[in-house]
Structure 1
């Protein structure tokens, strides 16, 4: 497929029975009676056990167009699956059509121009490993198995957010199959309204088949895990140091019971700790200086910070890991000692074996982009907070109530929401992800490109608001 702007109409395909669809589909058509169906329908999150009528594992953009037309003309609900990490279960659908992009993993890296065309079936880890071979990177999140499509379309907040901004700040163009079966090229000059909406508005406007990303020179970083005792002073001090740190440093702070990992001293297992995931994207000596204040907050319980290749920040995924958790996301304006005490109080009150309050300091390059430049409008927020509890077979309601109470206790003014971390929380929470005029503008774009709301299995923006 050419890299130049184009928007050809896909050839019209009449509504086809699945048997006929097999004849025109290059990729795999998987029905419930086919071998591998149960494996193909499984998603990352536990507790989600949908049985689609058909799974269409596309091989190319033409397959995507056929799948979209099949869903539209059959009336079956359509789910689009990349990495399958949707906490709301949007990566699959009961009795409908799953368009599975995992067969589309082509990656074309232009080292000289520092750009990459990436098909939507790639994971963040696969992309990062491949571009890392050239000492280049695009910032995604903190989990390698997440699909690049979902995280990009929602914004993308990860280890490079303060140095290089959100994932969408590195998005240069996209190729998109829209609800009418057209393949459109979108960038700042071609379909600029669609391109604006794709940068934070989620999967509401079509199926992105390829992304063109800017690559940044990120070879070695100084990073890893720093484990500290969880006290109000350490938590508040950590956030203060992270805000004052050079923009090269991004940190993800998890206040949680210490897991029984090999590097955690046995006497601390199950006790509340600050487990910080840190990355300094710059010179190693400068990185050590930037990390020193964090090490001085308290004697570290474990210090795994070291120079490493950037892709090493994505550890191998645990085979068969399917977590069951309830969570809430919001933005905070400050994390002082009082907030830290609230965090510890609620974590101590939980009965969940695994519960966490995650704090991510923002700012830097992310904050220098204007709120209206992309559909991700939370540019001025200082800290993103996420609270979560893992549940078992019989205590989901209890953990859900705890998470809601914890989130309410942390809320500061208009808490907002990060769309990539929303679960199945209702229309009001989706609206909170798009403050001010962003919502009305997204509705207008939705009305233009998907007036029938074919792409509704997502954090939905209805075409009529």
Structure 2
């Protein structure tokens, strides 16, 4: 270990160098989720890919732990390492749209909202997740499941090329022809193989969508019907159904505050008249408690909100992600019973019907190996303090066990405290073996280990 000379670092790098005692230090180390208080030795915001390589070299020279930050949304704070070096990509914000080719080069300091807003000016879109403040680096390397996934595939299915800084400080241009194994691994394998400094994405013509929030009563028949209709709908429709306690928002009747509701986020990527027809059976399940679904631009699916770690809302929760091959009425009923009797005032079970374009790609085409799974489920309970964690964790595990069926599986971007234990569920069978081989080639010393880690093959 070496003590860092911060003055020397400020001479060495053109990008911003933030150290303990600096006015911006607390903001630089703050994360989206609460309950985390890492104190890095230094946060460096490189000016370009060459400086990213320089910081990687610095970590090797000093022996200090290294982490990479894009949006700061890691559930367990992987992006800010305690007592080590943080590469904060916030300064890498260049974006170049080729309207005729329908592609965009975007640097990894941009958020999903940044890229979406820029390309939407041309009637184009690339699907990320469902939160605009998430950094594109993290969501892309982990997979990217969101509002356009059933129509146009996951984010990784639209990555055409990338620029990657590897553990030895090289800057590589990777695609299907150049370093194909590395290109395969960064599409779903997370940040294990290097620092991706920019991506080239395929864009799609999406002049408008029928989208927004639809809130329905959280009865077993309504929630099961919502999932059944969404799974059977054309690929143009992607939905996220959050069964949760109604927040005290002004558009929700006061007598519903704190009561269970089914809050659906709906996106139909097609003509408005067709979207209304597809959504009619869902609306007919029950009288909506709130209905904000309407023709909008795709960018409006990502409303303005407090960015990354800079806002005042820093939730602390325990969660579990899983897949389900079926969600029967009985299963949904039992999950809702769990939600009714949960110890946490704020709790949620999120259902995501998958399929469509996601499932039409082979499991081994990318490092995301769960193509055929029809449903993703996420269970979370918010904490009121550290002493509430044990009971909330137990409730989450019990609820997840009710919903889970089929082979064990996990989506790496939603793994939390259980990430180390469940890495093999995120990357089953041959996917894990291939990833460890790629890791051995590009990061044999496991420099990039603050993530859901894939060790190099022996």
TM-score of the alignment, normalized to the shorter chain, above 0.5: yes
**Change in CA separation of 1:293 and 1:97 when aligned onto 2, cut-off 3 Å:** same
Structure-2 residue corresponding to 1:190: 178
| Contact map agreement 1:176 1:208 (CA 8 A) in 2 | yes
**Change in CA separation of 1:15 and 1:46 when aligned onto 2, cut-off 3 Å:** closer
| Contact map agreement 2:327 2:403 (CA 8 A) in 1 | no
* Post-superposition offset of 1:16: 7.6
Structure-2 residue corresponding to 1:368: 360
1:126-180 deviations in Å (ceiling 9; x for gaps): 1101111111110000000000000000000000010000000000000000000
**Change in CA separation of 1:15 and 1:38 when aligned onto 2, cut-off 3 Å:** closer
SS in 2 for 1:168: helix
Aligned partner of 1:233 among 192, 196, 221: 221
* Post-superposition offset of 1:50: 0.4
Structure-1 residue corresponding to 2:436: 443
* Post-superposition offset of 1:22: 1.6
| Contact map agreement 2:166 2:194 (CA 8 A) in 1 | yes
Structure-2 residue corresponding to 1:428: 421
* Post-superposition offset of 1:17: 3.9
SS in 1 for 2:444: coil
Structure-2 residue corresponding to 1:3: none
Aligned partner of 1:86 among 74, 99, 123: 74
| Contact map agreement 1:15 1:70 (CA 8 A) in 2 | no
Task: Name the CA distance, whole Å, in 2 between partners of 1:358 and 1:89.
Answer: 22
The normalised TM-score by structure 2 is 0.97
Structure-2 residue corresponding to 1:256: 244
Match runs of 1:239-250 below 5 Å = 239-250=227-238
Structure-2 residue corresponding to 1:10: none
1:108 paired to 2:100: no
| Contact map agreement 1:15 1:69 (CA 8 A) in 2 | no
Match runs of 1:309-348 below 5 Å = 309-318=297-306, 319-348=311-340
1:217-262 deviations in Å (ceiling 9; x for gaps): 1121101011111111111111110111111000000011111112
Match runs of 1:366-405 below 5 Å = 366-393=358-385, 394-405=387-398
**RMSD in angstroms over aligned alpha carbons?**
1.3
1:56-99 deviations in Å (ceiling 9; x for gaps): 01111011001101011100000100000000210111100010
| Contact map agreement 2:332 2:403 (CA 8 A) in 1 | no
SS in 2 for 1:263: coil
SS in 1 for 2:9: helix
Structure-2 residue corresponding to 1:216: 204
- For structure 1, which segment, 112-121 or 267-276, has the greater mean C-alpha deviation from structure 2 after superposition? 267-276
Stretches of structure 1 that go unaligned for 5 or more consecutive residues are 1-13
* Post-superposition offset of 1:18: 3.5
SS in 2 for 1:395: helix
Aligned residues: 452
Structure-1 residue corresponding to 2:156: 168
Aligned partner of 1:62 among 38, 42, 50: 50
| Contact map agreement 1:15 1:73 (CA 8 A) in 2 | no
1:458 paired to 2:418: no
Task: Name the CA distance, whole Å, in 2 between partners of 1:315 and 1:224.
Answer: 10
| Contact map agreement 2:331 2:402 (CA 8 A) in 1 | no
Stretches of structure 2 that go unaligned for 5 or more consecutive residues are none
SS in 2 for 1:447: helix
| Contact map agreement 1:16 1:70 (CA 8 A) in 2 | no
1:270-327 deviations in Å (ceiling 9; x for gaps): 1111100000001010111111010001111111110011111111214322111111
